[in-house]
A and B are shown apart, each in its own frame.
Chain A
């Protein structure tokens, strides 16, 4: 069984680690703890509808500004990406555009998806921007909440399906 590398990108404090830990470990903590470098989670899962076992390595990448080129080095060989934004922020999308551009430039044609995170405590004010991002990157957007678990597993499953559909 092939193991797929999925990278999770986004600004610091948007909930990348929380989303991953909700998906892989089904846990959540309010405590903010910055990720240093990268944190890897190997996870075996099943796509129930297809009755298909999958193996993923999910890369939790430090959100603080990194030395030039470091993010690009981390995403080498990734099959797909989750780009996370914190919907409680005034402008959650600038950092999402930047992260999605880095991924697409490094690995054109590989799927990504948008995690519009913290949707349990925020609403999306700018649906037009979300629609533009979906068109630009040919991707899906998920209103996620690591706290409640809403849409977290479906998002990783949908991304995995996109990876499989592209024969990566």
Chain B
């Protein structure tokens, strides 16, 4: 019988067998796949052995790893097996070249992982699309509702006024119907304007006409304008801004619109209070504008609702506005590179702060310019 040539077997199978002593020092190497010097610490060559010193103190130690790569090399995996011969107690390490089989395994793992990651992204995209679709549907339902309410008032009023009757309406009644129809018409116009703004901001078509404008002057002008609002009759509405101008490179008309919305919201929030107060302040360094009221305040959930188009923060309570004001404010502020921060607690009033990108601040000597 011919003896099996172990070295031939190892070479044929691409295996290196390394005999180690208990300190992982190389004592014998069989096979020629790799050049492993004798009497060196095998852990320096195969760092997978670090940490395993205690494990291989036992007589039946055995460990196998199908694919091991080392260092920066990305495509040279080897299979590693370390085991102690239970009969002789000798520690053996076997290395096998698995480059060919690893290529197939890698492809399988890569495909599995890539497909799984793609599936996650697809589910995310589907969920986002469904959410957007639901939001769009809810938005359309809200728009329909908001358009119908004032239209009903106008149509109903016109119908009553135009109807032939035996007993004519009293002049006061006619005036009341006319006022209601006018207010509804104004509300409709405002709603349509707001919808156009919202739509333009959604599609990126809301263009800013930027120029040098004085935030203090705008704050004073809009505060004065709001003092004439019917809801502000019993409200202390103050504008506490610096006397010196604070120049900002911004769209003055849109800044006025932002402030008008915020003050209008605040005035409505405090309309029924005895000591109603709305204060407008300005921080010239940020720069930022704050509109603070001493109204009923909101919970965090109510604020989140108010930030949504047509969001009614208090269930069952409809405001007199279009319900789009805050959404538009946030989009306009965002277009100016700023943000809206709302600080409020139930019973502790509400402060809405609009801060702008500090780079928009202009020195008083800067020239005005128009950019669209």
Q: List A contacts of B113 (CB < 8 A).
A: 12-13, 32, 34, 63-64
CB distance from A12 to the nearest CB of B (A): 4
Q: List A contacts of B105 (CB < 8 A).
A: 36
CB distance from A28 to the nearest CB of B (A): 14
Complex-state Cα separation, A79 to B51, whole angstroms = 8
Question: Range of interface residues on chain B?
Answer: 20 to 34
| The residue from B63, B70, B117 contacting A13, defined by CB atoms under 8 A apart | B117
CB distance from A100 to the nearest CB of B (A): 19
Q: List B contacts of A41 (CB < 8 A).
A: 71
Complex-state Cα separation, A30 to B64, whole angstroms = 32
Complex-state Cα separation, A132 to B241, whole angstroms = 46
Q: List A contacts of B55 (CB < 8 A).
A: 76-77
Please determine whether A37 and B117 come into contact, CB atoms closer than 8 angstroms.
no
Complex-state Cα separation, A53 to B59, whole angstroms = 34
Please determine whether B47 and A3 come into contact, CB atoms closer than 8 angstroms.
yes
Knowing A12-B113, A64-B109, A76-B63, say if A37 contacts B72 (CB, 8 Å): no
Knowing A3-B43, A41-B71, A57-B47, say if A36 contacts B102 (CB, 8 Å): yes
The residue in chain B whose Cβ has the minimal distance to the Cβ of A89 is B120
Q: Is A137 an interface residue (CB 8 A)?
A: no
| The residue from B54, B65, B120 contacting A73, defined by CB atoms under 8 A apart | B65
Please determine whether A38 and B109 come into contact, CB atoms closer than 8 angstroms.
no
Q: List A contacts of B51 (CB < 8 A).
A: 4-5, 57, 76-79
In the complex, chain A residues 48-85 whose Cβ is within 8 Å of any chain B Cβ: 57, 59, 62-64, 73-74, 76-79
Q: List B contacts of A3 (CB < 8 A).
A: 43, 47, 50
Complex-state Cα separation, A79 to B55, whole angstroms = 13
Q: List B contacts of A40 (CB < 8 A).
A: 47-48, 68-71
Please determine whether B69 and A37 come into contact, CB atoms closer than 8 angstroms.
yes
CB distance from A149 to the nearest CB of B (A): 18
Q: Is A90 an interface residue (CB 8 A)?
A: yes
Q: Is B116 an interface residue (CB 8 A)?
A: yes
In the complex, chain B residues 240-284 whose Cβ is within 8 Å of any chain A Cβ: none
Interface size on A, residues (CB 8 A): 30
Q: List B contacts of A89 (CB < 8 A).
A: 120
Q: Is A33 an interface residue (CB 8 A)?
A: yes
Complex-state Cα separation, A24 to B120, whole angstroms = 30
Please determine whether B114 and A32 come into contact, CB atoms closer than 8 angstroms.
yes
Q: Is A161 an interface residue (CB 8 A)?
A: no
Knowing A37-B69, A40-B71, A57-B51, say if A32 contacts B63 (CB, 8 Å): no
Knowing A64-B109, A90-B124, say if A33 contacts B74 (CB, 8 Å): yes
Knowing A34-B110, A76-B63, A90-B124, say if A57 contacts B50 (CB, 8 Å): yes
Q: Is B52 an interface residue (CB 8 A)?
A: yes
B28-50: contact bitstring with A at CB < 8 Å (1 yes, 0 no)? 00000000000000010001101
Q: Is B67 an interface residue (CB 8 A)?
A: yes
Q: Is A25 an interface residue (CB 8 A)?
A: yes
Q: List B contacts of A57 (CB < 8 A).
A: 47-48, 50-51
The residue in chain A whose Cβ has the minimal distance to the Cβ of B63 is A73
CB distance from A70 to the nearest CB of B (A): 8
The residue in chain A whose Cβ has the minimal distance to the Cβ of B111 is A34
CB distance from B60 to the nearest CB of A (A): 14
Knowing A37-B67, A77-B55, say if A12 contacts B48 (CB, 8 Å): no
Complex-state Cα separation, A42 to B49, whole angstroms = 12
CB distance from A157 to the nearest CB of B (A): 19
In the complex, chain A residues 79-124 whose Cβ is within 8 Å of any chain B Cβ: 79, 89-90
Q: Which of A32, A39, A74 has the most chain B CB atoms closer than 10 A to its own CB?
A: A39
Q: List B contacts of A76 (CB < 8 A).
A: 51-52, 55, 63
Q: Is B66 an interface residue (CB 8 A)?
A: yes
CB distance from A76 to the nearest CB of B (A): 6
Please determine whether A38 and B68 come into contact, CB atoms closer than 8 angstroms.
yes
Knowing A64-B113, A73-B63, A77-B55, say if A36 contacts B50 (CB, 8 Å): no
Complex-state Cα separation, A151 to B135, whole angstroms = 38
Please determine whether A34 and B109 come into contact, CB atoms closer than 8 angstroms.
yes
Q: Is B77 an interface residue (CB 8 A)?
A: yes
Complex-state Cα separation, A36 to B74, whole angstroms = 10
CB distance from A1 to the nearest CB of B (A): 12
Complex-state Cα separation, A39 to B67, whole angstroms = 8
In the complex, chain B residues 102-147 whose Cβ is within 8 Å of any chain A Cβ: 102, 105-106, 109-110, 112-114, 116-117, 120, 124
Taking A33-B74, A37-B67, A38-B65 as known contacts, 11 extra A-B pairs with beta carbons closer than 8 A to each other, sorted by chain A number, are A5-B51, A12-B113, A12-B117, A25-B72, A34-B113, A36-B69, A36-B102, A40-B47, A40-B68, A57-B47, A76-B63
Residue pairs across A and B with Cβ atoms less than 8 A apart, 9 shown, are A3-B50, A12-B116, A32-B114, A34-B112, A34-B114, A37-B67, A37-B77, A40-B71, A64-B113
**Which 7 pairs across A and B sit closest by C-beta, in order of nearness?**
A37-B67, A77-B51, A5-B51, A57-B47, A39-B69, A34-B110, A12-B113
